[in-house]
Structure 1
Amino acid sequence: MVMRNSANERPARRAAIGRVTLHDEVAARLRSMIVEGELSPGARIPESQLCEAFGVSRTPLREALKVLASEGLVELLHSRGAIVKRMCVQEVADIFELMAGVEYMTGQLVCQRATAEEVEELQDLHARLLDFHRRGRRSDYFRTNQKIHRRIAEVSGNRVLAEMQADFSGKIRRARYMANLQQARWDESVQEHEAFMEALAQRDGDLMGQRLRDHMRHTGDVVIRALREEGGA
């Protein structure tokens, strides 16, 4: 499957994109389509269909593809367009392993350095996360989940750590979305969020670090198992 529309159907026309942040907006839409499985691993990017659907020319689309290639989501083919990049099981496993250690340090630092206002901001995001889970709004949940982890890293006060978290999170974004497709893991993930947010409220850095690390490990275990069952390389 390439897109949910059949080969004989015209793609549903989406709202035209404004010109101010054109290729960034195109990249954001394409990123969501890839992460959420609307564009399948190994599938060719249907440039003409997407240009029509988004109401843009090929130039911003191709600029967006370069951005997504840098994130490891697409593979650019010389003079032959682009395809959705297949996930390498070992690379994904290596990134999750590294991210577990990063999350532990992040938990320690954020409990030491976050202001009361920043803790409140994270609690508000967490409340939204719980609401999206209750209502079964998986895509909104996932975006909020990503924002929570990104903000925790930013609030840690270590810019290098935050940049590392953003870089590696981008590389495993699609893999992390896969984990929440399993209802049991989705429910478990929410409980893990509750647990590390409790540790943050207590300003217990060691406990928050441990819970963030375990959360990342559990997600990685689910993803790696699913990829191997699918016969991933």
Structure 2
Amino acid sequence: MADIAEKLHVSTQPVREALKRLDTEGYVNWTLNVGAVVSGISIADLKEDIPILRELEGLATREATRHLTPAVLEQLERLLGTMRLYVANNRPAEYGVLNKEFHRTIHACAGNNHLLKILDDLWARRDRLRAVFLLSPTRAAESLREHEAIVAALKARDAEEAGKLVEEHRIKAAAELLKYLEPEGVVNLFL
């Protein structure tokens, strides 16, 4: 803790408080005589989060369909255009960043701040899992096709189809990620 405090030019108190908060949120574990260690993400955690994400993202997408503006649709199209370039130029890390922005743009249109906060928290918990785009040689291209179908449904104002496509997208992404879990059941992907 003292090393971190020194590097940040602060006392140990704010570092201790930050680590306690990270512990509360499940990002670190305290180990006797070692200190705080960054947590892995267990298969059990992932399996608990995925159905919640699937349902809540489907709900957010259905709600967003009712509130979409032409400006938001243009923003989604711009994101897709850049994502196409990233897929074509084999830039999976950059694709992963835009993937998060793509989904958050849709979530924000739902018009439900509580839902947005819950989804933001769930995405933050699994942010390291964007590494699936680095691990799987085909996932970014598959994800792009799924995103294009989602945007087509949003443009058609087909809330049920858009929600269903997002739910399927979440399941496909999770299935791909599960292929890369370590034998002991922990995802060790620290980007």
**The TM-score by the shorter chain falls in which range?**
0.7 to 0.9
Q: Are residue 130 (structure 1) and residue 61 (structure 2) matched?
A: no
Question: What is the TM-score of this pair, normalised by structure 1?
Answer: 0.68
1 or 2, which has the higher helix percentage? 2
Q: Does the 8 Å contact 2:92/2:140 carry over to 1?
A: no
Q: Note the aligned Cα RMSD (angstroms).
A: 2.7
- Structure 2 unaligned blocks of 5 or more: 187-191
TM-score, length-normalised on structure 2? 0.81
1:192 corresponds to 2:149: no
Q: Cα gap change, 1:47/1:212 in structure 2, threshold over 3 Å: closer, same or farther?
A: farther
Structure 1 gaps of 5+ residues are 1-45
More relative contact order in 1 or in 2 (CA 8 Å, sep 6+)? 2
Residues 25-174 of structure 1: pairs in structure 2 closer than 5 A: 48=3, 56-57=8-9, 65=19, 68-69=22-23, 71-77=25-31, 80-174=34-128
**Matching residue of 1:217:** 171
> What is the one-letter code of the residue matched to 1:232?
G
Structure 2: how far apart are the matches of 1:70 and 1:176? 23
Matched, 1:177 2:167: no
CA distance in 2, matches of 1:67, 1:191: 38
* Number of equivalences: 184
Q: For 1:226, what is the secondary structure of its paired residue?
A: coil
Distance 1:134 1:191 in 2: 13
State the distance in 2 between where 1:180 and 1:192 align.
18
Following the alignment from structure 1 to structure 2, what is the Cα–Cα distance between the partners of residues 223 and 135? Answer: 22
- Partners in 2 of 1:174 and 1:128 — Cα distance? 22
> Does the C-alpha gap of structure 1 residues 51 and 126 become closer, same or farther in structure 2, counting only changes over 3 Å?
farther
Q: Is 2:83–2:98's contact at 8 Å kept on the other side of the alignment?
A: yes
Which sits farther off after the overlay, 60-69 or 74-83? 60-69
> In the aligned structure 1, how far is the partner of 2:72 from the partner of 2:165?
19
Provide closer, same or farther for how the CA distance between residues 72 and 134 of structure 1 changes in structure 2, counting only shifts above 3 A.
Answer: farther
2:180 maps to a residue whose letter is A
